[in-house]
């Protein structure tokens, strides 16, 4: 089966790209995956209860419901959505080849362009009680969840010692009664400026050499987190700490195992895109959403990057139609790396 453009992913970036490409009459095929990377179709938003910072929903909306609406919009405009996982790709020549999981020995599906929107997963610590209180007091996104009522004027805890942990702690200080940052080491990994601001904040306490070992709270179903057991790593003592909110700031893992041998990725595994664009190191392959965004990781920024990827894929496909052909075969199907001289309209755009 051949598609002009294939989208791999199922979150806001993937569906925004699908809507734009469908409306451009490019008939995209979207592979949403079957629990790809251990997450249900719809991505990380499906594990979020209330989304209050996505425009257009003044009363908030459930994460799962939001993704169902995006999926319905993609289908409405003509996107073909397949609940299959792409497990292997070959980007060395066009058309690109992609294989479905458990069918790697069969003929691949092909595409003239591919948009990667496979996302990233927040790292968890696997603490006792973590699964029970996830989204009921435990979160991996302070910006997403910090303002919800269950955290207001309550004691909150952040785990991590880098810039992200410092930023999240100071953000949460706007809402919680006090924020405690648990750092396993005896110093912060954050930049000197960020560490100085954090340590000087009147509503933040940093506990060095400390680690959470258990989450506890209300016993009923959908009960809320109420406390943590915290271990002093120097003495071995374990004490109870009141905590109505626990926020992980220990990093994310981008879903790039599928492509990291064929595309340029950074030291943390994120796909490298040319600044201000969705262009990857392979011409005709585009990346959008959290798989290439280690900084913002918001649903709305993912949707915006999905729009960018769709517009750039549409432009790329239009240019392909101008490639000279001989005897019905393109003169050159070898994929080349794009040069920095391309897309000058994006390089100076301060919004991208």
For residue 89 the two structure tokens come to: 């790709």
- The widest CA-to-CA distance across the chain, in whole angstroms, is 77
For residue 138 the two structure tokens come to: 């435990």
Query: Helix, strand or coil for residue 347?
Result: helix
The alpha carbon dihedral of 243, 252, 55, 50 has a sign of: negative
Q: In what helix (H) or strand (E) does residue 317 lie, and over which residues does it extend?
A: helix 299-320
Given 112, 145, 290, 293, which residue is catalytic? 145
Distance CA 284, CA 279 (A): 8
SS (H, E, C) 15-46: HHHHHHHHHCCCCCEEECCCCHHHCCCCHHHH
183 close to 210: Cβ distance less than 8 angstroms = yes
Place of tokens 């199907």: 333
For residue 142 the two structure tokens come to: 């302070």
Pairing of strands 252-254, 285-287: unpaired
312 close to 279: Cβ distance less than 8 angstroms = yes
Check if 215 is active-site.
no
Query: Helix, strand or coil for residue 3?
Result: strand
Given 112, 141, 265, 293, which residue is catalytic? 141
Check if 145 is active-site.
yes
232 close to 209: Cβ distance less than 8 angstroms = yes
User: Cβ contacts of residue 58 below 8 Å, gap of 6+?
Assistant: none
289 close to 308: Cβ distance less than 8 angstroms = no
Distance CA 176, CA 139 (A): 14
For residue 199 the two structure tokens come to: 């340590």
According to DSSP, residue 289 is labeled: G
Given 59, 105, 131, 144, which residue is catalytic? 144
Check if 265 is active-site.
no
The residues annotated as belonging to the active site are 141, 144-145
């Amino acid at each position: 089966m051949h598609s002009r453009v294939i989208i791999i992913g199922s979150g806001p970036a993937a569906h925004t790209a699908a809507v734009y490409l469908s409306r451009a009459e490019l008939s995209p095929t979207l592979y949403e995956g079957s629990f790809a990377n251990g997450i249900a179709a719809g991505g990380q938003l499906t594990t979020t209860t209330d989304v209050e910072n996505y425009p257009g929903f003044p009363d908030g909306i459930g994460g799962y419901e939001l993704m169902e609406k995006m999926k319905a919009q993609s289908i409405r405009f003509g996107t073909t959505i397949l609940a299959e996982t792409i497990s292997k790709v070959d980007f060395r020549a066009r058309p690109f080849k992609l294989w479905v999981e458990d069918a790697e020995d069969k003929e691949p599906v092909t595409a003239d362009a591919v948009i990667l929107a496979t996302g990233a997963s927040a790292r968890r610590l696997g603490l006792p009680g973590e699964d029970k209180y996830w989204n009921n007091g435990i979160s991996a996104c302070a910006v997403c969840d910090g303002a919800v009522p269950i955290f207001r004027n309550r004691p909150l805890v952040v785990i991590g010692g880098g810039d992200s942990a410092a930023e999240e702690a100071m953000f949460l200080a706007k809402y919680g009664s006090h924020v405690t940052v648990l750092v396993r080491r005896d110093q912060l990994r954050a930049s000197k400026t960020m560490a100085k601001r954090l340590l000087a904040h009147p509503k933040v306490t940093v506990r060095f050499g400390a680690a959470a070992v258990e989450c506890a709270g209300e016993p009923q179903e959908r009960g809320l987190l109420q406390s943590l057991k915290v271990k002093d790593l120097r003495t071995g003592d374990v004490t109870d700490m009141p905590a109505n909110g626990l926020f992980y700031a220990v990093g994310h893992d981008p879903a790039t195992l599928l492509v990291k041998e064929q595309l340029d990725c950074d030291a943390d595994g994120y796909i490298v895109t040319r600044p201000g664009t969705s262009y990857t190191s392979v011409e005709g392959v585009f990346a959008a959403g959290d798989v290439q965004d280690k900084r913002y990781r918001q649903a709305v920024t993912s949707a915006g990057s999905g729009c960018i990827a769709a517009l750039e894929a549409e432009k790329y496909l239009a240019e392909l139609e101008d490639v000279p052909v001989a005897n019905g075969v393109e003169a050159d199907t070898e994929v080349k790396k794009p040069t920095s001289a391309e897309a000058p309209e994006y390089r100076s755009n301060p919004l991208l």
